[in-house]
Amino acid sequence: MSDAAAAVEPFYAVELNRLAHQRERRGLPVIHMEVGQPSGGAPVAALAAAHEKLATTPQGYWESSALCERIAGLYRERHGLTIDPERIVLTMGASGALLLALAVLFSAGARVALARPGYPAHRNVLRAFGLLPVEIDCDAATRYQPTAAMVAALVPSPAGMILTSPANPTGTMLDAGELAALAAVARARGIRLIADETYHGITFGAPAHTLLEYEADAIVLNSFSKYWCMTGWRLGWAVVPAALAETFRRYSANMFLVPPTLAQHVALAALEEREELDRRVGDYAVNRQLLLDALPQLGITGFAPADGAFYLYADIAHLTSDSLVFCRELLDATGVALNTGRDFDSLQGQRFLRISFAVSTDETRRALELLAGWLRRRRPR
């Protein structure tokens, strides 16, 4: 076994999800707020396109240039940017885009900075590639996001940095000024920027800015998993500088041949279903507000309201010394499945819970009732 494999960290969301499914197999109800996925599937018209394409095309190796053009159009519509479709590389989700970016950009041993708390696969995949994650401690003072000053203070300067906005697990975003400042400090210090924009499209106030507005040479990762509700279809993309596009494609062909063919047909159809998808974001907004109103009444106040994505990351250190134990006990007693912060922060994560509110509003209400009742019954430890 490689050293990286020997050191790979557990994924607690998966463990809690397994416990939740065991409970369901015993015939007991569960409200799934532990995993980061929309509870609704792909838009209705996109599923119809899947049926039609299954019946009429052989599903061979294929890369849709029409999809790359349509994705380029998305940057025009959302951000007023003109992106050459040749710069768009279709991938197996944002996860596949991350693998390509790390393979293309960095040599073994390179240091790559990222926020703590953060999406665990970022640091774990860095390690798997023989790269060195440099975690920047971010707390409520900066809404769990890194600042330009924090990056300027890194000694030695890292070769790269991953920014995530909206972020997982906090849902907080980097605004235009913060992105511009981070881009400027990275340019000055020769730091390659990767922006994970997987949650773009799911925002509750101002829309998200892409890092490409401030750094034309940034690598941007995105996905059909979240806004387009296509988690299991495994499709995403990377926007890459023109000079690197050919190298990205070479790696992509060697690692994956092509991304899933059927998913590309579905994505083309899903891109036209904005009304249905925005309605779902409207539902997340209602759920978010329910949580923002109810959690303080339960004595849970240590969180930054999410600007986007569908998560709240809450400090519950006054309720438990280990949020994994808290989550297991809550699930066992009530059927409400939440995730421990330990997935996102190996130092402080035991203090935190991540609540995914990409469920129905009825489920959100019910989960809050169950949580309130359980907290009343239980003594703090």
Ligand X SMILES: Cc1ncc(COP(=O)(O)O)c(C=O)c1O
Report the interface residues with ligand X, using CB under 6 A.
36, 93-95, 119, 164, 168, 196, 198, 223, 225, 231, 236
Question: Residues 161-173, buried b or exposed e (16+ Cβ, 10 A)?
Answer: bbbbbbbbbbbbb
- At its nearest, how many Å lie between ligand X and the CB of residue 267? 12
- Whichever of 223 and 339 has its CB closer to ligand X, that residue is 223
**Nearest CB to ligand X, comparing residues 142 and 225:** 225
User: Cβ 234 to ligand X, closest distance in Å?
Assistant: 7
If the CB atoms of residues 93 and 349 are measured against ligand X, the closer one turns out to be 93
C-alpha dist (Å) from residue 14 to 19, 321, 338:
9, 21, 11
Taking the complex as a whole, the smallest distance from the CB of residue 162 to ligand X amounts, in Å, to 9
Q: Which residue is nearest to ligand X (CB)?
A: 93
Q: Measuring CA to CA, which residue among 357, 347, 345, 313 is closest to residue 143?
A: 313
How far apart (Å, rounded) are the C-alpha atoms in residues 181 and 211? Answer: 11
Distance CA 327, CA 308 (A): 24
In angstroms and rounded to an integer, the radius of gyration of the C-alpha atoms of the chain is 21
**What DSSP line would sit under 253-295, residue for residue?**
HHHHSS--HHHHHHHHHHTT-HHHHHHHHHHHHHHHHHHHHHH
Q: How far is the CB of 233 from ligand X (least distance, A)?
A: 9
The residue among 119 and 303 lying less far from ligand X, judged by its C-beta, is 119
CB of 93 to ligand X, least distance (A): 3
Smallest gap from residue 232 Cβ to ligand X (A): 9
Q: Which is nearer to ligand X, 319 or 341 (CB)?
A: 341
Identify the H or E element spanning 197: none
Name which of 178 and 196 has its Cβ closer to ligand X. 196
C-alpha to C-alpha distance for 171 and 189, rounded to whole angstroms: 28
Phi, psi of 270 (to 5 degrees): -65, -30
